[in-house]
């Protein structure tokens, strides 16, 4: 599991209140609500994090794919979430505020998204532990608004790097680029994409999310569409070269998740990126 730190910059005292979110996602077979045995160890490891006295609350959300009626899926998602909640409560000694809710079908925000290819991703329960940490001093000149993700400079190490990554971890593929304001992949990006093909062929159980990001220049809606188109272009390249679509999902975040909150050329270069997130192994 990966801890993600969000820093709120305070102009008066140069202090930041760091909110820590420890997350875990578990997946299900079609029409199943019981926890698969492979996730018990992950849940037990997740529970160990709850010993921290700074834990404020736990959020548990159940989801389904897009098959079946709305009523059926709402009941199924509730059953999934509640079984996870009962498993946690039977093993947690401390009293922690818990939110548990079935959300029914996963909502699709992109018009380009094809749910039939990614049904296994939608059959899930997401657990989120929210903790409040003590205020910490940050450098006045810091403009980083989220934890820095390792940038992959050498595509030849991609097989090793991704093979060693844990579920939930991400990396930046800074060797994949596009034509300006376009989803056309540049010719020099084909070699790193071929390296990614090798990774997915070597690890057939590996499942990744392809995330598209833009700089802060475009308007939000345009940035969202462009980043989604770019992520889809990589998805299409991989599927077109023999990768099982069940190993992949894609999403565009536009300019909503900058690494550096700035309008400089350097910031734009770092913010215009493709990230790969490990969904399952």
Q: How confident is the model at residue 247 (pLDDT cuts 50, 70, 90)?
A: very high
Between these two residues, 148 and 160, which has the higher pLDDT value?
160
Write out pLDDT tens, residues 101-112: 888 887 764 444
Phi-psi region of 13 (alpha: psi -120 to 50; beta: other; left: phi over 0): alpha
For helices 190-202 and 220-240, the axis angle rounded to 10 degrees is 60
Does residue 5 register a pLDDT over 80?
A: no
| pLDDT at residue 132, as a whole number | 67
Q: Which residue has the tokens 């009293």?
A: 95
Contacts of 253 (CB under 8 A, 6+ apart): 211, 212, 213, 224, 227
Cα atoms in the Cβ-side hemisphere of radius 13 Å centred on 71: 0
Does residue 244 register a pLDDT over 60?
A: yes
User: For the purposes of burial, counting CB atoms within 10 Å of the CB of 252, is it exposed (0-12), middle (13-18) or buried (19 or more)?
Assistant: buried
Look over the chain and give the mean of its residue pLDDT values, rounded to a whole number.
Answer: 75
Pairing state of beta strands 248-252 and 273-280? unpaired
pTM across the whole model: 0.47
Query: Where is 210: in which H helix or E strand?
Result: strand 207-213
The tokens describing 174, both together, are: 């800074």
DSSP state of 94: S
| pLDDT at residue 76, as a whole number | 92
How far apart are alpha carbons 128 and 226 in whole angstroms? Answer: 29
Write out pLDDT tens, residues 199-219: 898 889 999 999 998 877 777
Say which range, 6-10, 128-132, 147-151, 178-182, has the weakest mean pLDDT: 6-10
238: β partners: none
Q: What percent of the chain has pLDDT over 90?
A: 14
The tokens describing 192, both together, are: 């790193």
């Amino acid at each position: 599991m990966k801890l993600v730190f969000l820093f709120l910059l305070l102009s008066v005292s140069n202090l930041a209140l760091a909110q820590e979110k420890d997350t875990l996602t578990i997946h299900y077979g079609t029409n199943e609500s019981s926890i698969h045995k492979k996730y018990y160890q992950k849940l037990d490891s997740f529970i160990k994090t709850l010993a921290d006295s700074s834990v404020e609350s736990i959020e548990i959300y159940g989801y389904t794919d897009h098959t079946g009626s709305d009523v059926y899926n709402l009941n199924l998602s509730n059953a999934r979430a509640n079984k996870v909640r009962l498993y946690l409560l039977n093993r947690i000694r401390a009293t922690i505020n818990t939110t548990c809710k079935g959300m029914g079908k996963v909502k699709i925000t992109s018009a380009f998204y094809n749910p039939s290819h990614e049904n296994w991703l939608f059959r899930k329960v997401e657990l989120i532990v929210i903790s409040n940490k003590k205020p910490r001093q940050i450098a006045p000149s810091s403009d980083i608004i989220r934890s820095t993700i390792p940038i992959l400079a050498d595509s030849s190490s991609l097989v090793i790097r991704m093979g060693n990554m844990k579920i939930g971890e991400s990396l930046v593929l800074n060797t994949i680029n596009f034509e300006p304001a376009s989803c056309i992949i540049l010719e020099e990006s084909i070699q790193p994409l071929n390296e990614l093909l090798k990774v997915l062929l070597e690890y057939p159980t590996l499942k990744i999310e392809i995330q598209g990001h833009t700089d802060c220049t475009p308007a939000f809606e345009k940035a969202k569409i462009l980043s989604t188109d770019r992520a889809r272009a990589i998805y299409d390249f991989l599927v077109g070269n023999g990768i099982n679509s069940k190993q992949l999902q894609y999403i565009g975040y536009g300019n909503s998740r900058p690494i550096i909150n700035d309008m400089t050329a350097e910031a734009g270069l770092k913010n215009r990126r493709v990230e790969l997130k490990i969904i399952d192994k």
